[in-house]
Amino acid sequence: MDNAEITTPTFIHKEVAEDLRSGRFTYVRTRLPPEPNGYLHIGHVKAWLIDYTIARDFGGELYLRFDDTNPAKEETEFVEAIKEDTQWMGIEWTKVTFASDYFDQLYEWALRLVKKGLAYVDDQTPEEMSAGRGTLPRGTKWSETEVAVQPGVESPYRNRPVEENLDLLERMKRGEFPDGSRVLRAKIDMAHPNLVMRDPVMYRIMHAHHHRTGKKWCIYPMYDWSHGQNDSMEGITHSLCSHEYIIHRPLYEWFLEQLDEFRSRQIEFSRLNLTYAMMSKRRLRKLVETGVVRGWDDPRLTTLRGLRRRGVSPQAIRTFIAQVGETRNDTWVEMSVFEASVRDDLNKHSPRRMAVLRPLKLVIDNYPAGQIEEMEAVNNPEDPDAGTRKVPFSKVLYIERDDFRDEPPPKYHRLFPGNEVRLRYAYLVTCTGFAQDPETGEVTEVHCTYDPATRGGNAPDGRKVKSTIHWVSVAGAAQAEVRLYDRLFTVEQPDAAADPDTITNPDSLEVLTGCFVEPLLAQVTAGERVQFERNGYFCADPDSAPGKPVFNLTVTLKDSWAKFEHQK
RNA sequence: UGGGGCGUUGUGUAAUGGCAGCACGACAGACUUUGGAUCUGUUUGUCUUGGUUCGAAUCCAGGCGCCCCAGCCA
């Protein structure tokens, strides 16, 4: 990975540097903490990049640790997908681990707390526990709550003798009790103002098959009783997480203090909110399952797989994340910022090609029939090293329907009767007329004459034209499918919409099958990125076959004419 | 309501006591063999009220606003 995205040191950099200076830590080790229950999306990438860059910038290590503490939700399938997506981002880890690797050691640590009288087995029902916490039923909005949060009520089982707790915990572990019948809780403070500290659950009983430990365990640790302990066991110095965990930090620290183990440090940052992007795993899953999108890699999704299929490069994503910065503010980043990063990257690296998406035949009446010339075209004006290529030119061409008007609106500079334009890298042509379907009035072909003295696009007499249009010669043209994408959602915050079913944009996908592309594009490999001149950046889809390319729109070029025209 | 967190332009982010800068967007212009590349310019901001100070986005005090938490999810 290059360092292009590094800008100002972030507040986390400063904290870490201070920890090193003060001697709190003598090295740096961070971790990526995915739960293997879904695919990575752009929101994860922010966290991934923070962990990655902190480790890298301080010469430290990065572990990839799967947080597989809930066998009811997690699957092996996602483990491989997450590794793959992480690698695609160019993020290198030094070690792969699983929370489940530490189940035995974690259990030993739990016994230690029980023996110290700091944890107990509670036989209350979930409802009793919730009530005892001194809170209102789940679903109650804080704003609707009129009474102050009351101190909790201690469980009747709270002061069980240590021996009894040890016995019950062992039997929970062996599977003697049904799911939900008992839990192990830390004994902290039922009157604590922070609800997280009111005797949090450490283990729950789950007779479930775990993707790595099978049937070995009948109890599984909660996040709070696993994550920090795993951090400690692995010698993670900085456990970087999103802001919502900030209220868990006192508990994170309490456990490590009571255990007298290595004290990792949790630092929180705000998660990425991107307008028009859906990040909720549950909602994404529903889109996939109900067929609103074609899969987790649908190019309209901001999953990593979706972005990859769409044609977005890892570098563009890194640049974007660097631009977004890293603070504790609650923010909404506009999609346009992301698109700008994508354009910037693609502009530098994408070879230019000509493609006609909505073809209209252009006949050059004075061009010799049967003649084919090879015109030289620049591959990338931004990159001289990209060289040139030959594009065949002939009497009959395809141009964009949009590049011809029989009755031009004001300030329209493209082709219309009597107007001269440049065919890119070819000749100046003057429109002489057009043919229409007598029934529909639809323009079926356009006629023009060319000036043989303008080969390459420049007139010896120095005359100028106001417009250059792209074209594809009928001779040699390859037919292509092009999939155009618009935003999937009609609202800026799809995760917050009350009714997710009403916010999808019915026009988010438009499939064009009769497109023509220059001969070079007949053979493409999936993932190949190009710019279709004057149109946008496109990426060859895995659905492509030899001679039958399929392209996905990554992002359009900025189009000031379209903007001008729409304003009227 | 208890606890926690956050307030710099339309959006995001710099500036840690010394000219409020940058990016995206918007607007205007230049240039152009991509009207779409490129370049230039313009516009709009320190939540509020006081205090300390020669000087405050920054320090102090009060107020206001927004976000998060009452899973045996993570």
CA–CA dist A85, A88 (Å, integer) = 5
Window 420-449 of chain A: CB closer than 7 A to strand B? 422, 424-425
CA(A127)–C1'(B59) in Å?
A: 49
Catalytic (active site) residue A15: no
Enter the pTM of the model: 0.94
pLDDT at A3: 37
Q: Please, which positions of strand B sit below 7 A from a protein CB?
A: 1-8, 10-16, 23-27, 33-38, 66-74
User: CB-based burial of residue A109 (10 Å sphere; 0-12 exposed, 13-18 middle, 19+ buried)?
Assistant: buried
Find the Å distance, CA of residue A149 to C1' of nucleotide B62. 26
Residue-level pLDDT at A6: 46
Which residues touch A445 (CB under 8 Å, ≥6 apart)?
A360, A361, A362, A363, A434, A435
| ipTM, 2 dp | 0.95
Burial of A550 (0-12, 13-18, 19+ CB in 10 A): buried
Supply the pLDDT for residue A137.
58
- For this structure, is A138 an active site residue? no
CA A343 to chain centre: 16
Which pLDDT belongs to residue A198? 96
Looking at residue A128, what is its pLDDT?
93
pLDDT score, position A136: 62
- How high is the mean pLDDT in each 10-residue block of chain A (568 residues)? 54 94 96 96 97 96 98 89 98 98 98 98 95 72 67 95 98 98 97 94 97 97 98 98 96 98 97 96 92 96 98 96 94 96 95 97 97 96 92 97 93 94 97 96 97 95 94 95 96 91 94 96 96 97 96 94 76
CA pair distance A98, A68, nearest whole angstrom? 7
- CA–CA gap between residue A128 and residue A125 (Å, rounded): 5
The predicted pLDDT at position A498 comes to: 85
Length of chain A: 568
Q: Is A271 a catalytic residue?
A: yes
- CA of A321, C1' of B27: distance in angstroms: 27
pLDDT of residue A4: 42
- Could you tell me which of A333, A336, A103, A350 has the C-alpha nearest to residue A214? A103
Q: Which nucleotide is nearest to A467 (CA to C1')?
A: B35
CA distance A310 to A302: 9
How many whole angstroms separate alpha carbon A402 and alpha carbon A398? 12
- A534 CB inside 7 Å of strand B: yes
From first CA to last CA, the distance across chain A in angstroms is 46
Sorted by where each starts, the structural domains of chain A and their CATH numbers stand as 3-269 (3.40.50.620), 281-351+480-567 (2.40.240.10), 355-470 (2.40.240.10)
Residue linked to tokens 């609707």: A144
